[in-house]
Structure 1
Amino acid sequence: MTLLSTLQIANNSLIASQLGLQVVGNNIANANTPGYIRQQVVLTPAPTQRYGGLLLGLGVEVQAVIQQTDRFLEERLRSALSDLASGEAQEKTYVQLESLLGELSDTDLSTALTDFFGSVQDILNQPDSESVRNLAVLQGQSLAADISRMHERVGQLRTDINTQIDQTAVEINGHINEIAKLNVQILQAEGGGTSASDAVGLRDRRSIVLNELAQILDITAIEQPTGDVSVYVGGDYLVFQGTARPVTIEQTTDRGQTVSRIKLIETDAPLFSSSGKLAGLVTSRDAILGGFLDSLNDFATTLVSEFNKVYSQGQGLSGYSQITSEFAVDNVEASLDEAGLKFSANSGSFDILVRNKQTGLSETTQIQVDLNGLDDDTSLEELVEAINAVDGINASIDPNRRVVIKTDSQLVDFSFAGDTSGVLAALGINTFFKGTSASDIGVNKQLIDNPALFAASGGGIGEDTDVAIKLANLLSTPLESQNGSTLAVLYDKLTAEVSQGAAVTTSVTEGYRVFQNTLEGQLLAITGVNLDEEAVRMIQYQRTFQASARVISTINDLLEVLVNI
């Protein structure tokens, strides 16, 4: 053992202290840098040296500079980030949907429903007033417009979310390409796992990108012994070493709207993610908003069908001189229940009342409808033939396969009553509402042009208000087609599904948020920079550096003495 060996020991200590101070300085400089992972110098005793019969140490060596982190905790945090991003996307959608429903305002659908049926009730008080009937028509238009507007706005929300899904495809490709590039750089910097040190700056960036990708997709990131990370979604890999598998957009149709599906270009298979922003957006678009549209359409269809079934049996203050059915059939020779009508019809009959406007006398003719599934079921052709047999009117089928009924003379008009078959409502004859769903619901144009046609009577033109009584009470009348539920109950169910879904989603998302914050706090306790701890380490390295410098100074003095002897 010589003085020069001791000098080398002191030099190694100086180098270790210098590197330690550099790492401490880097930690302090990045104390507030998002995504920075605290670094630590790994010191190890230098190999021993034999001196005679002795084994003497050669000081200290810097083995590596590594990151202080927990890979398992990082993976759990990424999973929590995916769950939270999915929950927040759905939570935001429910907030927007509740805002559209506006159940706490005076412009919600429940108010429009109440106003409409209230206006029908007013006809009972003034049955001879055309202006009161006109008000009922206007309220019907307002209700139909509100339902249509709701459908349109929810559809626009779906379109906006679909645009966001398109953007996620771009984000996914950007992230996986960057991860693949960082894999190559880390592999080169660390020598494929041969270096004990971490490529700290590159790993920091890769960790940030992985977290950003985890917020979009439910990824699994597996670090290989060589330092690169393989990224999987479900059973498909997105990144392997320096290779990224990009995704693309496929356009399909759902509920009458163009929607996007993300798929892998290489396999042409859909990209499935159980959580993350993408899963939350898809659930919002298809399940939350799509499900609401289904319920809204069901409600609108039930409203149109049930109201028209009752309304089509009534007569107004005046009769028709001509009427054309709203709905066409696919085949005029097919039975009416198999002819492609939107609403169902069954066996039964309805009455046609032909009135002489001069004498006020009416003649009633019953039209039979046979739809029992046996031979000779009634077709549109046969129905028109039966109507044609009624004195005073004639019926035909226009080129669009719709029924046209006209009077033979200006001295007569006609109306309808007693429909037990539902065929009038199914064909759209003598109906109040037009359309079949929330997207196309409206009020019959003939009624808008002539409110006197509002069918309030059940015993003849302008005779009574029997039909109006049924219509006014329809909101709270149990419906056989809905297993005894009323229109009011159906609407309450529609809004309750939204409010309950919003409450559950908010609760679950808050749970995700708390869990994510907990994991983030645990990880920050490991990876975050503590300025107090770094200050202590800085003092330790400073003192070690000073002591090592004193050793070198002492050896220098001894060498001078030795040289001067």
Structure 2
Amino acid sequence: MSLFGSIRMANNTLQAQQIGLQVVGQNIANVNTPGYIREEVIFEPAPAQRQGNIILGLGVRVAGVVQKIDKFLEDRLRGSSSDAANSDVQQQTYLELERLLGELGENDLSTSLNAFFSSISEVLNQPENSAIRNLAVLQGQTLTDDIGRLAEQVATARNDVNDQIISSADDINRLTKEIFDFNRQIAIFESSDISESDAVGLRDQRNQAIIELAELIDIQAVEQPSGAVNISINGEFIVNEVARRELTVVETTDRGQPVAEIQFVETGSVPGFTSGRVAGLFTSRDEVLAEFLDELDSFSAALAFEFNRVHSSGQGLLGYQELTGEFRIEETDEPLDAAGLSFAPENGSLQVLVRNLDTGVTETTDIFIDLDGLDTDTTYDDFLAALNGVDGLTASTTSDARITLAADAGLEFSFANDTSGLLAALGLNTFFEGDSARTIGIRQELIDDARLLAASGGGIGEDTDNAVLLADFANRELDSANGSSVDSLYRNLSSSVTQATAVARSIAEGDQVFMQSLESQRFATSGVNLDDEIVRMISYQRAYQAAARYIAEINELLEILVSI
């Protein structure tokens, strides 16, 4: 090799080591940059040249600068980050639900339940004491207010989750646009590069966008020969080399609340989100919170209807001159259990008590409710006719399809021994009103006059037999709740949230640990270790110094040659 060839070889070495130092500097500069992937210089022998019968190399050259990345590990990490985001959202939702339920506090629902039934028990001791009766009604109001407040708070939490779903669609569209734009730039950059270099800066930014997208939704990412990445959701592409698909939000209604669904713009189809933050939000909204509201509604309906069944068969300290039912009748000529009532009555009977205010004499009339499915079952019209057959009582239907009763002058009426549940189903002589957690309340007649609290079972103001049943109602097995009591229904509701929260926490912690283990593996491959970079820097520096020394020696030889 000539002296000039030696200088050329040394120059190649200087350039290669200089590039190596520059890459090390780039790695060190980005040691704390999120999503940065460590860069590595690929060295290869420079082309050789022939000198006589000898072939000599020209040193080293840089084949390219590439990212140090394990693509299989990246796929696993994307999947684990989706799972971790999914479980974390569900865990946070359960924690919020547990906080709203507040069973460890002093103002939880179980405290209100106990206080209410305790106040009913006090009526047993002093049934004619108006203050004690008012307290029982007030405790009932507190209970229904607490139930309604809990329902509203959970509904608000559900709305908040729905708002996050809406904003997530915008985030997905933003990230897919970024990835699509990076795809085009990377494909152009790398296709025009005759070396083996990656478009490292662009790839770092695209990889960070893919990581953020994977936290939102479960994706499959496949790199193409052009350098572009195709991304799909359950087999449906959302980004490829030439196009991307927009998502849009379509709002509907569920359980009386607005709910958003995410769809593809051009087809209207719904992506199958199975993991990621968005899947966790959908699960939180449509399962965790919605199902809790359903269970709270079921609890409230059972409490109201079954308590009303007992209350409607009793009598207060005074009767009614007039009374209007709460619930509307949809079909007056259909059997009562198919008349569209919120609660279905059953085969049985009831008694109507009409009391003369002057003489104190009470006339009792039995009305039979035939709902055995045989022959002709009792309709609303039949029941109305039976009531109108009671001396001193007039029954009719209001303009909004509710039953209304009125006693003749000098008379008052009440009810007893309803085995059909029809009075509770119509909302006559009841304690509670409403049929769900957000509608349950206390009948206005009782709020206005607590003497209507039906503590008696043997006639108007006669005894406290019905109050005994009402006070023990919390532990009574309910037919409409498959034999469960109100107390056990609430305990099951509360404990199910506690247990589900513990399970969600365990899953979230497990997903987080697994993701962190993969991140540690990723750092070992793609992360910047300052100690390692310093070692590489010293290596490149020494090689550079040696090449510079080599050039100095060649320069001396050239000076000797010139001086001859």
Normalising by the smaller structure, the TM-score range is: over 0.9
Residue 440 of structure 1 pairs with residue 410 of structure 2 = no
1:52 CA drift (Å) = 2.5
1:32 and 1:386 map into 2 onto residues whose CA distance is 84
1:306 and 1:226 map into 2 onto residues whose CA distance is 70
8 Å contact from structure 2 (residues 63, 195) kept in 1: no
8 Å contact from structure 1 (residues 193, 227) kept in 2: no
2:326 and 2:521 map into 1 onto residues whose CA distance is 66
1:364 CA drift (Å) = 0.3
8 Å contact from structure 1 (residues 78, 214) kept in 2: yes
**Structure 2 CA distance for partners of 1:193 and 1:348, relative to 1, 3 Å:** farther
1:193 CA drift (Å) = 8.2
1:167 aligned residue:
167
1:390 aligned residue:
390
1:304 and 1:336 map into 2 onto residues whose CA distance is 19
Residue 500 of structure 1 pairs with residue 499 of structure 2 = yes
1:64 and 1:170 map into 2 onto residues whose CA distance is 37
Secondary structure at 1:244 match in 2: coil
- Using the size of structure 1 for normalisation, the TM-score is 0.98
2:326 and 2:530 map into 1 onto residues whose CA distance is 78
1:195 CA drift (Å) = 4.1
1:534 aligned residue:
533
Secondary structure at 2:385 match in 1: helix
Secondary structure at 1:521 match in 2: helix
1:539 CA drift (Å) = 1.5
1:69 CA drift (Å) = 1.4
2:218 aligned residue:
218
**Structure 2 CA distance for partners of 1:75 and 1:194, relative to 1, 3 Å:** farther
8 Å contact from structure 1 (residues 90, 505) kept in 2: yes
Secondary structure at 1:243 match in 2: coil
Residue type of the partner of 2:204?
A: D
Residue type of the partner of 1:530?
A: N
- Give the % identical residues: 51
1:285 CA drift (Å) = 0.8
Residue 380 of structure 1 pairs with residue 377 of structure 2 = no
1:388 and 1:374 map into 2 onto residues whose CA distance is 25
2:106 aligned residue:
106
1:449 CA drift (Å) = 0.8
2:334 aligned residue:
334
1:483 and 1:346 map into 2 onto residues whose CA distance is 16
2:369 aligned residue:
369
1:323 and 1:12 map into 2 onto residues whose CA distance is 104
2:470 aligned residue:
471
**Structure 2 CA distance for partners of 1:193 and 1:484, relative to 1, 3 Å:** farther
2:157 aligned residue:
157
1:34 aligned residue:
34
1:268 aligned residue:
268
Secondary structure at 1:127 match in 2: coil
1:555 aligned residue:
554
8 Å contact from structure 1 (residues 346, 422) kept in 2: yes
Shifted more, 368-377 versus 159-168: the winner is 368-377
CA displacement 1:309-364 (0-9 Å, x = unmatched): 11110000000000011111112122211110010112211101100111111000
2:348 and 2:28 map into 1 onto residues whose CA distance is 87
Equivalent pairs counted in the alignment come to 564
Deviating runs (4+, > 6 A) in structure 1?
A: none
1:510 aligned residue:
509
2:32 and 2:400 map into 1 onto residues whose CA distance is 72
1:258 aligned residue:
258
2:141 aligned residue:
141
Secondary structure at 1:215 match in 2: helix
**What are the residue-to-residue correspondences of 1:50-129 with 2, within 5 Å?**
50-129=50-129
Residue type of the partner of 2:454?
A: A
1:313 aligned residue:
313
8 Å contact from structure 2 (residues 175, 213) kept in 1: yes
Secondary structure at 2:249 match in 1: strand
1:349 and 1:539 map into 2 onto residues whose CA distance is 98
Residue type of the partner of 1:494?
A: L
1:282 and 1:86 map into 2 onto residues whose CA distance is 10
Residue type of the partner of 2:424?
A: A
1:47 CA drift (Å) = 2.4
CA displacement 1:120-175 (0-9 Å, x = unmatched): 11111111212211111111111111111111110000001100000000100000
Secondary structure at 1:314 match in 2: coil
1:432 and 1:282 map into 2 onto residues whose CA distance is 38
Residue type of the partner of 2:463?
A: D
8 Å contact from structure 1 (residues 193, 225) kept in 2: no
8 Å contact from structure 1 (residues 181, 242) kept in 2: no
1:49 CA drift (Å) = 2.2
Residue 491 of structure 1 pairs with residue 490 of structure 2 = yes
Residue type of the partner of 1:4?
A: F
Secondary structure at 2:308 match in 1: helix
1:60 CA drift (Å) = 0.7
User: Any gaps of 5 or more consecutive residues in structure 2?
Assistant: none
2:176 aligned residue:
176
8 Å contact from structure 1 (residues 50, 56) kept in 2: yes
Secondary structure at 1:319 match in 2: coil
Residue type of the partner of 2:273?
A: S
8 Å contact from structure 1 (residues 192, 226) kept in 2: no
1:156 and 1:406 map into 2 onto residues whose CA distance is 42
Secondary structure at 2:258 match in 1: strand
1:562 and 1:195 map into 2 onto residues whose CA distance is 38
CA displacement 1:510-533 (0-9 Å, x = unmatched): 001111111111101111112222
Secondary structure at 2:342 match in 1: coil
- Using the size of structure 2 for normalisation, the TM-score is 0.98
2:194 and 2:182 map into 1 onto residues whose CA distance is 17
2:194 and 2:60 map into 1 onto residues whose CA distance is 21
Residue type of the partner of 2:443?
A: N
Shifted more, 519-528 versus 548-557: the winner is 548-557
How large is the Cα RMSD of the aligned pairs? Answer: 1.2
Secondary structure at 2:252 match in 1: strand
2:92 and 2:11 map into 1 onto residues whose CA distance is 61
1:375 CA drift (Å) = 3.3
1:544 aligned residue:
543
8 Å contact from structure 2 (residues 13, 547) kept in 1: yes
8 Å contact from structure 1 (residues 456, 465) kept in 2: yes
